[in-house]
Structure 1
Protein backbone atom coordinates (compact mmCIF):
# COMPACT_ATOMS: atom_id res chain seq x y z
CA UNK A 1 0.00 0.00 0.00
CA UNK A 2 2.84 2.36 0.81
CA UNK A 3 4.40 2.04 -2.62
CA UNK A 4 1.07 2.64 -4.35
CA UNK A 5 0.65 5.88 -2.40
CA UNK A 6 4.20 6.93 -3.23
CA UNK A 7 3.64 6.18 -6.94
CA UNK A 8 0.38 8.14 -6.91
CA UNK A 9 2.06 11.09 -5.19
CA UNK A 10 4.98 11.03 -7.60
CA UNK A 11 2.67 10.94 -10.65
CA UNK A 12 0.40 13.61 -9.22
CA UNK A 13 3.19 16.02 -8.29
CA UNK A 14 5.43 15.70 -11.33
CA UNK A 15 9.04 16.87 -11.32
CA UNK A 16 8.36 20.48 -10.37
CA UNK A 17 5.93 19.50 -7.62
CA UNK A 18 8.38 17.01 -6.14
CA UNK A 19 11.05 19.70 -6.07
CA UNK A 20 8.69 22.20 -4.42
CA UNK A 21 7.53 19.67 -1.83
CA UNK A 22 11.09 18.71 -0.85
CA UNK A 23 12.14 22.36 -0.76
CA UNK A 24 9.11 23.36 1.30
CA UNK A 25 9.65 20.64 3.89
CA UNK A 26 13.32 21.61 4.13
CA UNK A 27 12.49 25.28 4.69
CA UNK A 28 9.96 24.40 7.38
CA UNK A 29 12.54 22.23 9.16
CA UNK A 30 15.18 24.98 8.90
CA UNK A 31 12.81 27.52 10.45
CA UNK A 32 11.69 25.17 13.22
CA UNK A 33 15.36 24.56 14.01
CA UNK A 34 15.85 28.26 14.74
CA UNK A 35 12.89 28.20 17.14
CA UNK A 36 13.70 24.93 18.91
CA UNK A 37 17.39 25.68 19.44
CA UNK A 38 17.79 29.44 19.31
CA UNK A 39 21.26 30.87 18.81
CA UNK A 40 22.34 33.43 21.36
CA UNK A 41 24.56 35.45 19.05
CA UNK A 42 24.11 34.47 15.40
CA UNK A 43 27.17 35.69 13.56
CA UNK A 44 26.44 37.89 10.57
CA UNK A 45 22.71 38.26 11.07
CA UNK A 46 22.62 41.50 13.04
CA UNK A 47 20.82 43.24 10.17
CA UNK A 48 17.93 40.89 10.92
CA UNK A 49 18.24 40.53 14.69
CA UNK A 50 18.38 44.31 15.19
CA UNK A 51 14.82 44.48 13.88
CA UNK A 52 13.33 41.44 15.65
CA UNK A 53 14.39 38.15 17.19
CA UNK A 54 15.78 35.27 15.20
CA UNK A 55 12.75 33.21 16.25
CA UNK A 56 10.56 35.76 14.49
CA UNK A 57 12.71 35.52 11.36
CA UNK A 58 12.40 31.75 11.60
CA UNK A 59 8.72 32.17 10.84
CA UNK A 60 9.73 33.59 7.46
CA UNK A 61 11.31 30.21 6.68
CA UNK A 62 8.32 28.30 8.05
CA UNK A 63 5.66 30.32 6.23
CA UNK A 64 7.63 30.35 2.97
CA UNK A 65 8.15 26.60 3.33
CA UNK A 66 4.45 26.01 3.88
CA UNK A 67 3.56 28.09 0.81
CA UNK A 68 6.22 26.30 -1.23
CA UNK A 69 5.03 22.84 -0.15
CA UNK A 70 1.39 23.76 -0.77
CA UNK A 71 2.16 25.02 -4.27
CA UNK A 72 3.66 21.61 -5.06
CA UNK A 73 0.10 20.32 -5.41
CA UNK A 74 -0.94 22.99 -7.89
CA UNK A 75 -0.94 22.49 -11.63
CA UNK A 76 2.04 23.54 -13.69
CA UNK A 77 1.73 27.18 -14.54
CA UNK A 78 0.03 27.90 -11.25
CA UNK A 79 2.95 26.78 -9.09
CA UNK A 80 4.99 29.96 -9.63
CA UNK A 81 4.09 31.36 -6.21
CA UNK A 82 5.87 28.38 -4.67
CA UNK A 83 9.11 29.29 -6.41
CA UNK A 84 8.80 32.94 -5.37
CA UNK A 85 8.12 31.92 -1.78
CA UNK A 86 11.12 29.60 -1.86
CA UNK A 87 13.36 32.48 -3.01
CA UNK A 88 12.43 34.87 -0.22
CA UNK A 89 14.19 33.46 2.90
CA UNK A 90 17.58 32.65 1.32
CA UNK A 91 17.58 36.03 -0.41
CA UNK A 92 16.95 37.83 2.88
CA UNK A 93 19.69 35.82 4.59
CA UNK A 94 22.12 36.54 1.73
CA UNK A 95 21.46 40.29 2.03
CA UNK A 96 22.04 40.09 5.79
CA UNK A 97 25.36 38.29 5.33
CA UNK A 98 26.53 40.70 2.62
CA UNK A 99 25.63 43.56 4.94
CA UNK A 100 27.71 41.95 7.69
CA UNK A 101 30.70 41.87 5.34
CA UNK A 102 30.28 45.52 4.36
CA UNK A 103 30.01 46.64 7.99
CA UNK A 104 32.99 44.50 9.00
CA UNK A 105 30.93 42.49 11.47
CA UNK A 106 31.42 39.08 9.85
CA UNK A 107 34.19 38.66 7.28
CA UNK A 108 33.11 35.12 6.38
CA UNK A 109 29.61 36.40 5.56
CA UNK A 110 30.46 36.97 1.91
CA UNK A 111 31.10 33.28 1.41
CA UNK A 112 27.93 32.35 3.28
CA UNK A 113 25.95 34.84 1.18
CA UNK A 114 27.40 33.39 -2.03
CA UNK A 115 26.50 29.93 -0.78
CA UNK A 116 22.88 31.02 -0.24
CA UNK A 117 22.80 32.70 -3.65
CA UNK A 118 24.20 29.71 -5.54
CA UNK A 119 22.93 26.64 -3.72
CA UNK A 120 19.54 28.10 -2.85
CA UNK A 121 18.56 31.03 -5.04
CA UNK A 122 20.35 29.80 -8.16
CA UNK A 123 19.00 26.27 -7.91
CA UNK A 124 15.46 27.52 -7.27
CA UNK A 125 15.64 29.88 -10.24
CA UNK A 126 16.95 27.08 -12.46
CA UNK A 127 14.29 24.63 -11.28
CA UNK A 128 11.55 27.15 -11.97
CA UNK A 129 12.51 27.16 -15.65
CA UNK A 130 12.70 23.39 -16.06
CA UNK A 131 9.69 22.13 -18.00
CA UNK A 132 7.65 19.34 -16.46
CA UNK A 133 8.43 16.98 -19.30
CA UNK A 134 11.56 17.35 -21.40
CA UNK A 135 10.86 15.17 -24.37
CA UNK A 136 13.24 15.39 -27.32
CA UNK A 137 11.65 16.18 -30.63
CA UNK A 138 11.02 13.18 -32.87
CA UNK A 139 13.67 12.47 -35.50
CA UNK A 140 13.00 13.84 -38.93
CA UNK A 141 11.65 11.31 -41.34
CA UNK A 142 13.32 10.95 -44.69
CA UNK A 143 11.48 12.76 -47.43
CA UNK A 144 10.30 10.87 -50.44
CA UNK A 145 12.07 11.88 -53.52
CA UNK A 146 14.77 10.88 -55.86
CA UNK A 147 17.82 9.46 -54.27
CA UNK A 148 21.12 9.15 -56.11
Structure 2
Protein backbone atom coordinates (compact mmCIF):
# COMPACT_ATOMS: atom_id res chain seq x y z
CA UNK A 1 0.00 0.00 0.00
CA UNK A 2 2.75 2.45 0.96
CA UNK A 3 4.77 1.72 -2.18
CA UNK A 4 1.76 2.44 -4.35
CA UNK A 5 1.26 5.79 -2.61
CA UNK A 6 4.93 6.68 -3.07
CA UNK A 7 4.79 5.75 -6.76
CA UNK A 8 1.65 7.81 -7.23
CA UNK A 9 3.18 10.82 -5.46
CA UNK A 10 6.35 10.46 -7.51
CA UNK A 11 4.36 10.30 -10.74
CA UNK A 12 2.29 13.33 -9.69
CA UNK A 13 5.32 15.44 -8.78
CA UNK A 14 7.69 14.45 -11.57
CA UNK A 15 11.40 15.26 -11.45
CA UNK A 16 10.97 19.00 -11.14
CA UNK A 17 8.34 18.67 -8.44
CA UNK A 18 10.48 16.29 -6.39
CA UNK A 19 13.37 18.76 -6.60
CA UNK A 20 11.13 21.64 -5.50
CA UNK A 21 9.68 19.61 -2.64
CA UNK A 22 13.12 18.62 -1.33
CA UNK A 23 14.40 22.18 -1.73
CA UNK A 24 11.34 23.66 -0.05
CA UNK A 25 11.50 21.33 2.94
CA UNK A 26 15.22 22.07 3.29
CA UNK A 27 14.77 25.83 3.20
CA UNK A 28 11.91 25.65 5.69
CA UNK A 29 13.99 23.53 8.08
CA UNK A 30 16.93 25.92 7.71
CA UNK A 31 14.69 28.84 8.63
CA UNK A 32 13.22 27.00 11.61
CA UNK A 33 16.76 26.30 12.83
CA UNK A 34 17.34 30.07 12.99
CA UNK A 35 14.29 30.39 15.24
CA UNK A 36 15.11 27.44 17.50
CA UNK A 37 18.83 28.08 17.91
CA UNK A 38 19.96 31.34 16.29
CA UNK A 39 23.52 31.19 14.93
CA UNK A 40 26.15 33.87 15.16
CA UNK A 41 25.58 36.79 12.85
CA UNK A 42 29.16 37.44 11.78
CA UNK A 43 29.07 38.59 8.17
CA UNK A 44 25.34 39.26 8.24
CA UNK A 45 25.55 42.78 9.68
CA UNK A 46 23.81 44.18 6.59
CA UNK A 47 20.77 42.04 7.41
CA UNK A 48 20.86 42.39 11.19
CA UNK A 49 21.05 46.18 10.90
CA UNK A 50 17.52 46.04 9.44
CA UNK A 51 16.06 43.43 11.84
CA UNK A 52 17.12 40.45 13.94
CA UNK A 53 18.22 37.09 12.57
CA UNK A 54 14.98 35.59 13.92
CA UNK A 55 13.02 37.86 11.57
CA UNK A 56 15.24 36.87 8.66
CA UNK A 57 14.49 33.25 9.50
CA UNK A 58 10.96 33.86 8.28
CA UNK A 59 12.33 34.71 4.83
CA UNK A 60 13.73 31.17 4.63
CA UNK A 61 10.53 29.65 6.02
CA UNK A 62 8.10 31.52 3.77
CA UNK A 63 10.21 30.95 0.66
CA UNK A 64 10.59 27.28 1.61
CA UNK A 65 6.84 26.82 1.97
CA UNK A 66 6.22 28.55 -1.37
CA UNK A 67 8.87 26.37 -3.02
CA UNK A 68 7.47 23.15 -1.54
CA UNK A 69 3.89 24.10 -2.41
CA UNK A 70 4.77 24.88 -6.01
CA UNK A 71 6.07 21.32 -6.36
CA UNK A 72 2.45 20.26 -6.82
CA UNK A 73 1.86 22.65 -9.72
CA UNK A 74 2.16 21.68 -13.35
CA UNK A 75 5.40 22.25 -15.22
CA UNK A 76 5.37 25.80 -16.49
CA UNK A 77 3.41 27.02 -13.51
CA UNK A 78 6.08 25.92 -11.05
CA UNK A 79 8.34 28.87 -11.92
CA UNK A 80 7.15 30.72 -8.82
CA UNK A 81 8.73 28.02 -6.65
CA UNK A 82 12.07 28.41 -8.38
CA UNK A 83 11.88 32.19 -7.99
CA UNK A 84 11.06 31.86 -4.29
CA UNK A 85 13.92 29.38 -3.84
CA UNK A 86 16.38 31.92 -5.24
CA UNK A 87 15.53 34.72 -2.82
CA UNK A 88 17.08 33.61 0.52
CA UNK A 89 20.48 32.42 -0.78
CA UNK A 90 20.76 35.52 -2.97
CA UNK A 91 20.04 37.79 -0.01
CA UNK A 92 22.57 35.92 2.13
CA UNK A 93 25.21 36.09 -0.63
CA UNK A 94 24.71 39.84 -0.97
CA UNK A 95 25.04 40.29 2.80
CA UNK A 96 28.26 38.29 2.91
CA UNK A 97 29.74 40.17 -0.06
CA UNK A 98 28.84 43.47 1.61
CA UNK A 99 30.66 42.28 4.74
CA UNK A 100 33.76 41.59 2.66
CA UNK A 101 33.62 45.00 0.98
CA UNK A 102 33.15 46.81 4.30
CA UNK A 103 35.88 44.71 5.90
CA UNK A 104 33.79 43.08 8.63
CA UNK A 105 34.15 39.46 7.53
CA UNK A 106 36.99 38.46 5.23
CA UNK A 107 35.72 34.89 4.90
CA UNK A 108 32.38 36.21 3.59
CA UNK A 109 33.54 36.16 -0.02
CA UNK A 110 33.96 32.40 0.10
CA UNK A 111 30.60 31.95 1.78
CA UNK A 112 28.96 34.20 -0.82
CA UNK A 113 30.47 32.20 -3.68
CA UNK A 114 29.29 29.01 -1.98
CA UNK A 115 25.71 30.36 -1.80
CA UNK A 116 25.88 31.55 -5.40
CA UNK A 117 27.16 28.24 -6.77
CA UNK A 118 25.67 25.50 -4.61
CA UNK A 119 22.34 27.24 -4.12
CA UNK A 120 21.61 29.87 -6.74
CA UNK A 121 23.45 28.09 -9.55
CA UNK A 122 21.86 24.72 -8.88
CA UNK A 123 18.38 26.23 -8.63
CA UNK A 124 18.82 28.13 -11.89
CA UNK A 125 20.08 24.99 -13.61
CA UNK A 126 17.20 22.88 -12.29
CA UNK A 127 14.69 25.47 -13.45
CA UNK A 128 15.84 24.94 -17.04
CA UNK A 129 15.69 21.14 -16.98
CA UNK A 130 12.61 19.91 -18.82
CA UNK A 131 10.42 17.38 -17.05
CA UNK A 132 10.83 14.63 -19.62
CA UNK A 133 14.24 15.22 -21.16
CA UNK A 134 15.45 11.69 -20.48
CA UNK A 135 13.93 8.90 -22.58
CA UNK A 136 12.05 6.27 -20.59
CA UNK A 137 13.87 3.09 -19.64
CA UNK A 138 13.48 0.34 -22.23
CA UNK A 139 10.91 -2.31 -21.41
CA UNK A 140 11.94 -5.94 -21.40
CA UNK A 141 10.80 -7.87 -24.44
CA UNK A 142 7.42 -9.54 -24.04
CA UNK A 143 7.17 -13.24 -24.39
CA UNK A 144 5.05 -14.25 -27.28
CA UNK A 145 4.86 -16.34 -30.35
CA UNK A 146 7.66 -15.98 -32.82
CA UNK A 147 6.49 -15.20 -36.30
Both structures adopt the same fold (TM-score exceeding 0.5):
yes
Q: C-alpha separation between the residues in 1 aligned to 2:69 and 2:129?
A: 19
* Poorly superposed stretches of 4+, deviation over 4 Å: none
Query: Alpha carbon RMSD of aligned pairs, Å?
Result: 0.8
Match of 2:50 in 1: 51
Q: Greater Rg, structure 1 or structure 2?
A: 1
Say yes or no: does 1:103 pair with 2:107: no
Structure 1 residue 4, shift from structure 2 partner: 1.2
Match of 1:19 in 2: 19
Give secondary structure in 2 for the equivalent of 1:78: coil
Structure 1 residue 135, shift from structure 2 partner: 4.1
Match of 1:34 in 2: 34
Q: C-alpha separation between the residues in 2 aligned to 1:3 and 1:98?
A: 46
Match of 2:116 in 1: 117
Q: C-alpha separation between the residues in 1 aligned to 2:110 and 2:44?
A: 14
Structure 1 residue 124, shift from structure 2 partner: 0.1
Q: C-alpha separation between the residues in 2 aligned to 1:113 and 1:33?
A: 20
Residues 58-98 of structure 1, C-alpha deviations (whole Å, 9 max, x = no match): 00000000000000000000000000000000000000000
Gaps of 5+ in 2: 136-147
Gaps of 5+ in 1: 137-148
Residues 3-33 of structure 1, C-alpha deviations (whole Å, 9 max, x = no match): 1111111000000000000000000000000
Structure 1 residue 118, shift from structure 2 partner: 0.1
Give the TM-score normalised by the residue count of structure 1. Answer: 0.89
Q: C-alpha separation between the residues in 2 aligned to 1:135 and 1:36?
A: 41
In the alignment of these two chains, the number of paired residues is 135
Match of 1:126 in 2: 125
Structure 1 residue 2, shift from structure 2 partner: 1.6
Structure 1 residue 46, shift from structure 2 partner: 0.4
